[in-house]
Structure 1
Amino acid sequence: MKNKVYIALGSNIEPRIHYLDEAIAELKKHAEINLTQSSAIYETVPVGYTAQSDFLNMVIEVETTLRAVDLLDVCQSVEQELGRKREIKWGPRTIDLDILLYNQESIVSEHLIVPHPNMHERAFVMVPLAEINPDAYIPTRNMTVDAVLYKIPEDEIKGVVPWQTTNGEEE
């Protein structure tokens, strides 16, 4: 069975765009993962631990025959391969891959909670997710992505800025 999954990607260690590109390339290499959509790339200020560089964030949609826990293993191996270190909670990272939604399922296990437990509070997740599927359903909120996004404060949404390279052209 093909499962529709949304994954958030973030990086704030240079070269940020390289880490996003490499993570997507690694996921696409997997025989049981098919990338179907990707959002634009957005630049955002850090949340939680703020003494760090700005992030590049995006969301991708994939179809996979993998179980959620197996997809988590793939995502964590990609993070590890790209040098992710977990030293400071919410700290700098080469790449962060978070499973946001897995079909319309609610999953709670020792290693994985889906829908992602904080996604509804994070404009840097909800803006790119709404870009690719505003009608996706978040079962733990009993709302669509668009409805959740509507509840996020306007100033937080304005902080999710389409990323442009230094020469002014969007990547």
Structure 2
Amino acid sequence: MIEGIFLLLGSNLGDKKKLLNSACSIINSELGPIMGRSSLYETAAWGKTDQPAFLNQVIEVNSALSAAEVLKCINNIESRLGRVRTEKWGARIIDIDILYYGHEIIETENLTIPHPGIPDRRFTLAPLVEIAPDFIHPVLRKTNTELLARCSDKLEVNIIES
């Protein structure tokens, strides 16, 4: 069982809160038990900014699945919840990213862990710090708290529900 698998969930279309809750329910039953959940955060869109604000949440999961199997599982969950991939950083009904897979460093054609965007995205770091402030990024050797303090992203990230 791998502990400390951190996933970022996001949605900016439809009933965002319901979609995040549905994703969590499926993850808990098919991937492994959810050990921690951040508050819900609202953030302006990052990358492609002419779209609705996102609701984001970070969860911590324990799973017996390999990182590749976790990726396959979350892609399947996204599809089941209605995600259709059309454009990079475009609006989406659900998005699930693997941030950390324990303390492993993985570089394959389809998967890079830790997620390369972690240090540059406040909407990822704020909820990560809430549930895992002292978790050490295995490549950068900094805690999530240290990464957030150094993050240059100035997008506003607001807790909307604890």
If the TM-score is normalised by the length of the shorter chain, which range does it land in?
A: over 0.9
- Answering whether residue 158 of structure 2 is matched by residue 161 of structure 1, we say yes
Instruction: Kindly provide the CA deviation profile for residues 101-130 of structure 1, in whole angstroms up to 9, marking residues without a partner as x.
Output: 011111011111000011110000000000
Match for residue 95 of structure 1? 94
Match for residue 167 of structure 1? none
How far residue 153 of structure 1 moved from its aligned partner, in angstroms, is 3.6
How far residue 60 of structure 1 moved from its aligned partner, in angstroms, is 0.1
In the comparison of the two structures, how many residue pairs are matched?
162
The secondary structure found in structure 1 opposite 2:68 is helix
Instruction: Kindly provide the CA deviation profile for residues 126-170 of structure 1, in whole angstroms up to 9, marking residues without a partner as x.
Output: 0000000111111121211111011014843xx00012xxxxxx4
- Matches of 1:16 and 1:147 in 2, distance apart? 30
TM-score, length of structure 1 as denominator length: 0.91
- Matches of 2:41 and 2:69 in 1, distance apart? 28
Match for residue 39 of structure 2? 40
- Matches of 1:5 and 1:125 in 2, distance apart? 14
How far residue 48 of structure 1 moved from its aligned partner, in angstroms, is 1.0
- Matches of 2:75 and 2:51 in 1, distance apart? 22
CA contact (8 A) 2:101 2:114 kept: yes
Match for residue 145 of structure 1? 144
Q: List gaps (5 residues or longer) in structure 1.
A: 164-169
Match for residue 24 of structure 1? 24
Match for residue 114 of structure 1? 113
- Matches of 1:35 and 1:154 in 2, distance apart? 28
- Matches of 1:11 and 1:29 in 2, distance apart? 20
- Matches of 1:119 and 1:9 in 2, distance apart? 13
**Greater relative CO (CA pairs within 8 A, separation 6+):** 2
- Matches of 2:153 and 2:47 in 1, distance apart? 19
The secondary structure found in structure 1 opposite 2:33 is strand
- Answering whether residue 83 of structure 2 is matched by residue 84 of structure 1, we say yes
Match for residue 15 of structure 2? 15
Return structure 1 stretches of 4+ with deviation > 4 angstroms.
none
- Matches of 1:65 and 1:98 in 2, distance apart? 18
How far residue 81 of structure 1 moved from its aligned partner, in angstroms, is 0.4
Q: List gaps (5 residues or longer) in structure 2.
A: none
- Matches of 2:149 and 2:117 in 1, distance apart? 16
Letter in 2 for 1:11: S
